[in-house]
Amino acid sequence: MNKDHLQTLARDLRKTPPRSPRETLGGFVIAARMLDKARADLLGINGEYNFYPCGLGAYFWKFTGLDATKFKEFVATGANDEEVDRWIRENTTQKDQKAIIKWNNEMEQSKRHVRSQEHMEDRQHAAKLQQTGWNLCGKKQELRDDRERERHVHEVHVSRRGKNAVLNVGLLKARQGVGPTHRHGGSDAERERKQYRAQAPG
């Protein structure tokens, strides 16, 4: 492996995502992304991104007829983008240009095969960077909680006397004595307090 030259070409996928699967290399979409993954994998800087197995890669290897291992071995020589482009064109078993154009268009437009996979990989990458204090721009990123916060506050008080327990649950306004006042018996809050006292053991 030509490590020194490879380091000048590779993206550190621990900090930066690979190229979009919609970018072409050797006439095929996904290829440029697989190249970025292969280089990073060889150097151990692939982070959360897998070169193999990979969902997007599976479509690419199947359609092109290329072997993932041989592709990676060639990338390890320190080949640049132009050389990898030429290697793909020479070694692919898919030579039908109309079929290639059709496949590229289908993959570019398919949310299921391309965009969903890219989104999933990049979300995993972003989540990992959040834990390590990086984001895609190299800045600190705060963790966000998508769940809605509770809008109403309830207080629960447990009074224990001897072997028995009395559970008092109420809204803050009830505890403050705010509420409709009746002619006989006072406020709702007052009646509830009397009821709890009657229930509680002496």
Question: Which pTM does this prediction carry?
Answer: 0.58
Contact indicator for 42, 74 with CB cutoff of 8 Å: no
Position with higher pLDDT, 30 vs 198: 30
Would you place residue 187 in the very low, low, confident or very high pLDDT band (cuts 50, 70, 90)? low
Altogether, the residues listed in the chain come to a count of: 202
Q: What is the pLDDT of residues 98-142, one digit of tens each?
A: 999 999 999 988 755 555 555 556 665 555 555 555 443 333 333
Nearest in space to 56 (alpha carbons), one of 91, 21, 103: 21
DSSP H or E stretch at residue 58:
helix 55-64
Mean pLDDT computed over 34-51: 96
Q: HEC string of 100-113?
A: HHHHHHHHHHCHHH
Mean pLDDT computed over 6-23: 95
- The structure tokens listed for 2 are 């030509």
Residue at 12: amino acid letter = D
Q: What is the pLDDT of residue 56?
A: 87
